Structure 1
Amino acid sequence: MTRRKIAWIETVDESDAQGEVKDAYAETGDRRTGRVDHIMKIHSLHPRSMLDHEVLYRTLMYSDGPLKRAQREMIATVVSAINRCKY
């Protein structure tokens, strides 16, 4: 069996976040739980890119366009499955 290797990207934990990182976590984290998704935490060493990623995500998933929301979610689900994403 072949094991997949996964790259490790240094991140800042929510409890250690200060300044711009803390502000970016507040902007991009789950409003109910305060939890920040790993896909956003990979930007913690460059908070501006975290905010830009959030804008891109919101634009792709929530703005007006030719695809319905359900279609966008279906595409995201298929891509995640192809990439063997665990969440």
Structure 2
Amino acid sequence: MVARIQMIESEYAEGKLKELYDQFNGKMANILKVHSLNPNSLEAHFNYYKVIMFGKSPLPRKVREMIATVVSVTNECFY
């Protein structure tokens, strides 16, 4: 599935956006890349994701991933 939101691909990134892309070795998911026009938003989304998926929680990571998958399917978001 292709995003309908304009995105800056990693090979065209500059400045802060390039630094963020470099953290992913050019393999950033579209769900994050849709923020590429606003690197501060991308950084905030990524930090939020890290807290939700990797932060301390009573839920194991695989359960959190399953919840995210169910929510995405329910919302017809196939990233």
- What 5-or-longer segments of structure 1 have no aligned partner? 1-6
2:9 is the counterpart of 1:13: yes
The structure showing larger relative contact order (alpha-carbon pairs under 8 Å, at least 6 residues apart) is 2
The residue number in structure 1 matching 2:46 is 54
Paired residues in the alignment total 78
Query: 1:8, CA displacement in angstroms?
Result: 2.5
Work out the CA distance in 1 between the residues paired with 2:70 and 2:18: 32
CA RMSD of aligned residues (A): 2.0
Q: Which residue of 1 aligns with 2:18?
A: 22
User: Which ranges of 4 or more aligned residues in structure 1 deviate by more than 6 Å?
Assistant: none
Q: Of the candidates 14, 36, 46, which is equivalent to residue 28 of structure 2? A: 36
Identity of aligned residues (%): 42
Amino acid at match of 2:8: V
Deviations 1:36-76 (A, max 9, x none): 21111111111011111111101001111121112111101
Give the structure 1 partner of residue 68 of structure 2: 76
Give CA deviations for 1:10-44 in whole Å, capped at 9, x if unaligned.
211111111111111113x2x4xx21211111111
Q: Which runs of no fewer than 5 residues in structure 2 stay unpaired?
A: none
